[in-house]
Amino acid sequence: MSAYRTGDPLDRRRFLTAAALHGATVVGATALGAVDADAAFAAPMRPLDPAVAESAFAEGRITAINDDVLAVAGSYGDHSRVRVTGATSVWKARATTAADIETGDGLYARGVPLPDGTLAADAVWVNIVNLHATIRGIEKTRLHLAHGRHEIVGNLMAETTSAAYGTASPTADLSGLTIGQSAQVLGAWRPSDGSVDLVRVAVAPGAGRRR
Amino acid sequence: MSALARDLAPLVLAGVLGTAGAGKLFGRGTARQAPRTALARLLRDGGRAALALRVLGAVELLLAAALLAGPVTPLPGGAVAGGVAAGAAAALLGAGFLGYLLYARAAAPDGTSCGCTARHDTPVTWRAFVRAAAVLVGGVAAALAQQPWWTAAGRRPAAALCLVLAAAAALTALSADPDRRWRMPLRRLRLRITGHPLAATGARTEAPLAATGARAAVPLAASVELLERSRAWQSVSRVVRSALLDHWDDGGWRILQFAGVYGGGGPAARPVLVLFAVDAGASLETVREPAVRVSVIDADSGAPVLATA
């Protein structure tokens, strides 16, 4: 297990790749619950295993970071403390690590309440936004979006931003987006300038055919 | 030129009041918009606000007609009584608009519609103030007009045409929703001329297909979607606790790493890593029955754990 123990992330990945490819192959398709960024907005996940405590949630702005505990001021005046561990997944426009979390960020966390009052986070989504908008302008590096009366700049991220046309699978091909389209936008808000790093732009079916 | 502008003011003002009045009086949106305007707050009732907007529309139309009709009785001084009355009324209306806008701004600093054109749900902006001021100034100018607008236009037709066109352009620019009217069409036109700025993203996804015959890697979101609808996910979903922790591509495979707990909630529970390997080029579009490899390994030792949960 020396490769697993090593601190070199490439060695570790190599080891994990070998482990993954030696795993059992399961073929078949079925519709099940999701744990991706969409799940942050879904109904609370009920564990199948009765021994596992039901998931708890926390949301709000991070007011302080003390080692691995995030102090969170909730939107409704409540306060919570969220503990991030090595097993916690951190999403900030992409899968990342706790080092990317900053004071002032918005947070949505799912986890298990501990006796000391903290929430041991299983998953943390940082600055996640999911909004309905209209595409008002298209440039090489960004989209101009209108959400209600608010103008929002959406930053396109190479290798990350995907488009979903109707019910089709997400694609890296953004050439089907047109001005005037309504879009469901999933992304990460940037507190510094109020823009949104776009992760997925979902538009109506067939809309991508027009130019 | 200023004398011409003064004499043509009734025509331009009639155009402005006529359009706004017709919109308020006959527009289907008036009843829908009224409860959201600051007027509804002033009158404390959306229905009354709608009625008031329609009455105001009728008044604006009447004023427009009076301004167009021009003088009724020439006065000894040369001024024209009908025009003076209509111009003064329009100036009063403009002053009233300004007062109303100030009230709307104070009553609802952000967001309340002004109901100015009764078409779009537009908040009170500097444009609304400039429009109201234009009505006030136009009304004063119309009241001061020395001759009917058609006489003035007949004497200097080219200058009159230029002046009216310029006024129309300025008033269009001041219209409630410039984005809808001209910014978006202009952007669309630019895209049509210069091409789609993101066309390269389409070429990027298709090029490797043609070049190598191999499938290009799909976006991560497509792989996660494929995984979450797979039987492999079903078989270990009760072990998985986190969202996606890490991912990387290796030799055509895409490895997706999650954290989980194995062995129930008791003291025997162990932290584990759940690893999935999926075809990096597969998505729900291309594969009906995805083959997904699953591994559960102990998070501390790296030893494989049987995924029989």
Residue B266 lies inside a defined structural domain of this protein: yes
The domain spans of chain A are 37-126, 128-209
Q: What are A44-103's pLDDT values in tens digits?
A: 555 545 445 567 899 999 999 998 999 999 989 999 999 999 899 999 999 999 999 999
Same domain for B125 and B58, yes or no, is: yes
CB-based contact A30 B245, cutoff 8 Å: no
The top-level CATH class assigned to A37-126 is mainly beta
| More confident of the two residues A192 and A198 | A198
Residue B142 lies inside a defined structural domain of this protein: yes
Residue B89 lies inside a defined structural domain of this protein: yes
Q: Which domain covers residue B41, as residue numbers?
A: 2-179
Residue B134 lies inside a defined structural domain of this protein: yes
Which residue in A has a C-alpha nearest to residue B233's C-alpha?
A32
Domain A128-209 listed as CATH 2.60.40.1120: no
Q: B306 — contact with chain A (CB < 8 Å)?
A: no
Same domain for B266 and B132, yes or no, is: no
Give me the pLDDT at residue A69, please: 95
Total count of domains within chain B: 2
Same domain for B16 and B149, yes or no, is: yes
Residue B138 lies inside a defined structural domain of this protein: yes
Domains A37-126 and A128-209 fall in the same CATH topology: yes
Same domain for B18 and B157, yes or no, is: yes
| More confident of the two residues B213 and A56 | A56
Q: B303 — contact with chain A (CB < 8 Å)?
A: yes
Band of residue B245 on the pLDDT scale cut at 50, 70, 90? very high
Give me the pLDDT at residue A208, please: 44
CB-based contact B293 A139, cutoff 8 Å: no
Same domain for B18 and B152, yes or no, is: yes
| Domain boundary residue, one of B150, B179, B208 | B179
CB-based contact A36 B221, cutoff 8 Å: yes
Band of residue B90 on the pLDDT scale cut at 50, 70, 90? confident
Q: Are B282 and B297 in contact (CB under 8 A)?
A: no
The HSE-up count of residue B11 (CA atoms within 13 Å, CB side) is: 19
Closest approach of chain B CAs to the CA of A80, in angstroms? 20
Residue B251 lies inside a defined structural domain of this protein: yes
Band of residue A195 on the pLDDT scale cut at 50, 70, 90? very high
Give me the pLDDT at residue B167, please: 87
Model confidence at A185: pLDDT above 90: yes
CB-based contact B255 A17, cutoff 8 Å: yes
SS3 content of chain A, % helix, strand, coil (to 5): 15, 45, 45
Give me the pLDDT at residue A26, please: 66
Same domain for B256 and B145, yes or no, is: no
Closest approach of chain B CAs to the CA of A88, in angstroms? 6
Band of residue B139 on the pLDDT scale cut at 50, 70, 90? confident
Q: B259 — contact with chain A (CB < 8 Å)?
A: yes
Residue B279 lies inside a defined structural domain of this protein: yes
- C-alpha–C-alpha distance, residues B241 and A121, integer Å: 9
Give me the pLDDT at residue B184, please: 80
Closest approach of chain B CAs to the CA of A205, in angstroms? 14
Closest approach of chain A CAs to the CA of B121, in angstroms? 10
Residue B184 lies inside a defined structural domain of this protein: no
End-to-end Cα separation, chain B, in angstroms: 89
Which of B123, B222, B244 is nearest residue A89 as measured by Cβ atoms? B244
CB-based contact B179 A136, cutoff 8 Å: yes
Please list every residue in chain A whose beta carbon sits closer than 8 Å to the beta carbon of residue B285: 168-169
Give me the pLDDT at residue A16, please: 86
Give me the pLDDT at residue B274, please: 92
Torsion angles phi and psi, residue B83, rounded to 5 = -65, -40
